[in-house]
Amino acid sequence: MLDSNPKIAVVMGSQSDYSTMQEATNLLEQFSIGCEHRILSAHRTPQRLREYAQEAEDKGIEAIIAGAGGAAHLPGMLAAETLIPILGVPIGNSAMQGLDSFLSIAQMPRGVPVATFSVDGAKNAALFAISMLARKDANIEQKLQAYRDNQTASVPATPINNGASNKKNSDGFDKFLISALLLYLGYNFLKSDKKPTDALPNRLLPNDSSQDEMQRFDKALRQAKDTYFE
Ligand code: AIR
């Protein structure tokens, strides 16, 4: 909720960070917490950054969620300019997929801390800001508890086999490849008693395959046939 009495600010180094940082605003909205947005760049608009740090203090902003990519100095520079807690979000849009931003934000010099979240972790930064507010606001605390309870309830106790293919599961992937091969061999093969390798065109068989390899190949194809076609 972009509102006249914002409690949290969501700031970013560039328009290009907006889609990531919007996750934070969306969550704050879900909790009906007033927030405001700004584009502030430590490098491109340093004066605006300094002025905003003062403005945020004057407005009573309780925490600033600051996202930036690359040489991400925005959260650190804000922390240098204000006592408001800064929650830094490294944006992962750089050539280094956010590792550069992460280190730029996390490796602050002693004495000027920035709480650092995961790369593109705007949602968690918002949840953290919400938990800070919840310490002083029973209504927010209740909503946060409900959010956690829903989350817990949504996690099944046991996995459901929904048939989704899993690339990491090489066994499943092998079966998929074999069944694709079976489709190539066609309906005739599926109905016949021929050995699968008899039905394969010679050019698909390795030149030097041993009897043993051929038998294993036949067995794998038969298994795939049983699994997927019967
Ligand atoms: N950035 C902008 N000013 C200082 C920094 N570090 C960051 C933005 C954005 C990235 O540079 O936070 O993630 C690329 O910005 P742009 O505007 O080139 O897309």
Tell me the pTM: 0.74
Q: How far, in Å, is the centroid of ligand 1 from the Cα of 67? A: 9
Q: Rounded to whole angstroms, how far apart are CA atoms 171 and 124?
A: 35
Closest ligand 1 atom to 17 CA: 13
pLDDT lower than 50: segments of the chain: none
In this prediction, residue 199 carries a pLDDT of: 59
CB 103 within 8 A of CB 75: no
Domain ranges of the chain: 8-153, 168-228
What pLDDT, on a 0 to 100 scale, did the predictor assign at position 197? Answer: 61
User: Does residue 41 have its Cβ closer than 6 Å to ligand 1?
Assistant: yes
Q: What's residue 154's pLDDT?
A: 96
Report the pLDDT value the prediction gives residue 118, as an integer from 0 to 100: 98
Task: Return the pLDDT at 147.
Answer: 98
Percent of the residues in the chain that have a pLDDT greater than 70, as a whole number: 76
Question: Does residue 69 line the site of ligand 1, with CB under 6 A?
Answer: yes
pLDDT at position 46, please? 98
Class of domain 8-153: alpha beta
| Three-state secondary structure call for residue 63 | strand
Q: Which atom of ligand 1 is nearest to the CA of 104?
A: 6
Q: How many CB atoms lie within 10 A of CB 74?
A: 33
In whole angstroms, give the CA distance from residue 10 to residue 122. Answer: 9
State if residue 134 touches ligand 1 by the CB under 6 angstroms criterion: no
